[in-house]
Each structure stands twice: as structure tokens, then as C-alpha cells.
Amino acid sequence: MLLEYFGFRLLPFSKEITAAHLFPAAQHQELLARLQYAVRHRAFALLTGDPGAGKSVAIRALYELLDRTRHHFVYIADSRLTPTAFYRDVLTQLGVTAPYHFLSRETRRLFEQTILDGYRLHGQQPVIVLDEAHLLPGPMLQEVRFLLNFHLDSACPMTFVLVGQSELRGLLRLRTFEAIAQRVQVRFHLGPLTEPESIAYILHHLRLAGADRPLFSEQALQKIAAESRGFPRLINSLCTSCLLDACARDQRLIDEANVDRVLLELQDLQAAKGGSPW
């Protein structure tokens, strides 16, 4: 519907955006540079940020930049991850099957051996990313300590990146997780876009979609930037709703009234569910 009405080449504000088309905000660029540094130095990195700030997208961009002949990329996002499941999953992604009867300690040993052999024999340096880490159960977070012992070794064989929402920082400040916090070598907290960046972000998406004329009024752009507080996922969702609203009313230009209507609908929806609009 939006494609035909606005004559887009592809749908703007989509989740499917490719790494090459990401909006190059200064912070996002710096984050990518730090992640690349972590890979080069096989460091332990901690990436935090509020929901929808662009953490997972940055990890996807890192993946695209990796030299796959040297870096096997392992990505896990599972809020119910147990240590055994973690080791099994990594091993599977590295092409090794842990025997079914193996218990936690044996699976861990096989993991350690596989990583060390891959490094010594083939120079392999896996990049292991644990996303949604703020949701990880206590035993799995504790297990991260073991993983980081590799990092005590001068010839550490892998890069390990822990990614999670802002509360992960608070979690790691707890005494129980102090040993993990102390071992973080690269840390980055991804904040929201500034107001001018948010507007540039919207225009970037529209340009990618092939819009050949302004589709949002200045006031509409400013309102979306303010209401979204600069979080890309919220900007995407507001902009898409505004485009649909304009399309339903046969409007070619999105103005402040469209944004207000969309915000009101969101509030009504949330009030019915009993939560904040975001």
C-alpha cells in the first residue's frame, strides 16, 4: 500500500535494513570502531543501551565487516540460556557436536579444547556475542566468569561481547558479578540520537526508499524527533504509522496533525493494555 501510494522503491523504516544502508550517526560509527578494536585485540566487550537504540544492528554491522576466514561469528540471544546449552550451541555453530551424555563440565572442557585447537592449529579467533544479556539467568552470568578466564591468558583466543539493555550495567555492579565487571576491556553505552540526528535519520530512510520530494513537514519531523526521544526503533514505528495515516486520508504531506493522531492512537492502545506508550 505505502509503496504504490508514495512511489517508494522499497519500504522505508524497515527492520530489514542492510548494514551498508545504516544511518551513520557519530555514536554508531564510534561503537563500530570500538567493536572492531575488541575483535582485533580479542577483548571482552560490554555493550549497553536502552531498547531500540541500535545495539543489535551494530552487531550485525560488525558481522558484515569480519574476515570470515579468521573469525567465526557466534551469536546467541536466549533469555533462558543455561551454561550447558550455551557451550553446546557455540560448539554446534563451530561445527562440533557435543556427545548427548556430556554434562556441564565435560561440555565446557570440549568448548575450551575446541577454541584452543582452532586457534593453535588454524589461527581461528571466534567472535562470540551474547545478546539480550540483561535477561540471562544468574547461573549463566556466573559462567561468563569462566569464559573470561581465557582473557587472563596473553594469547586469548576469542572475542567475547556481552550486549544488553541499560540495566545490565547495574547488574554487573552487584558484588556477585564484580569479577565480570572488572574484566571488561572495551565498554560502550549507546545513547539515543540527538534531535538533528533524528531528523537526518528520517530523511536518510526516505532517501533510501527513493522518495523524490519532502514527505514530512518541518514541524512533523521535529515532533517525531522529540516524541521518540531519539530511539531509532520508535522513530521507525512513528514514521510508518504517520505514512499509513496520511495514505488513509489521501494526503501527500505528513504534518503535525498526523503525528498527533498517531500519538493519540498509541496512547489509547497503551492505556487499554495498561502501560507507557512506548
Contacts with ligand ATP, residue ranges (CB under 6 A): 15, 17, 22-23, 25, 28, 49, 51-57, 165, 232-233, 236
The yes or no reply on residue 166 touching Mg ion (CB under 5 A) is: no
CB nearer to ligand ATP: pick between 17 and 158: 17
CB nearer to ligand ATP: pick between 168 and 215: 168
The three grid cell numbers given for residue 21, joined into one nine-digit string: 544502508
What is the residue-wise DSSP string for 149-175? Answer: HGGGSTT---EEEEEE-THHHHHHHSG
Q: How many residues bind Mg ion (CB under 5 A)?
A: 1
Provide the β-strand partners of residue 48: 164, 189
Tell me the closest approach of the beta carbon of residue 25 to ligand ATP, in angstroms. 6
Tell me the closest approach of the beta carbon of residue 261 to ligand ATP, in angstroms. 23
Give the CA angle between residues 5, 10, 15 to the nearest 5°: 115
Could you give the CA distance from residue 262 to residue 242 in angstroms, rounded to a whole number?
A: 6
Distances (CA, A) of 100 to 17, 85, 140, 241: 39, 12, 20, 49
CB nearer to Mg ion: pick between 56 and 166: 56
Whose cell is 556481552? That residue is 162
Three-class DSSP category at 118: helix
Tell me the closest approach of the beta carbon of residue 232 to ligand ATP, in angstroms. 3
Site string for Mg ion, 24-63 (x = CB under 5 A): --------------------------------x-------
Tell me the closest approach of the beta carbon of residue 79 to ligand ATP, in angstroms. 11
CB nearer to ligand ATP: pick between 187 and 233: 233
Tell me the closest approach of the beta carbon of residue 54 to ligand ATP, in angstroms. 3
Closest listed residue to residue 159, CA positions, set 83, 70, 77, 81: 70
The alpha-helical segments, DSSP class H, found in the chain are: 2-6, 26-40, 55-65, 83-93, 104-122, 138-149, 167-173, 178-183, 195-209, 218-228, 232-248, 256-273
CB nearer to ligand ATP: pick between 145 and 233: 233
Tell me the closest approach of the beta carbon of residue 60 to ligand ATP, in angstroms. 8
Residue 123 interacts, among Mg ion, ligand ATP, none and using kind-specific CB cut-offs from 5 to 8 Å, with none
Binding site for Mg ion (CB under 5 A): 56
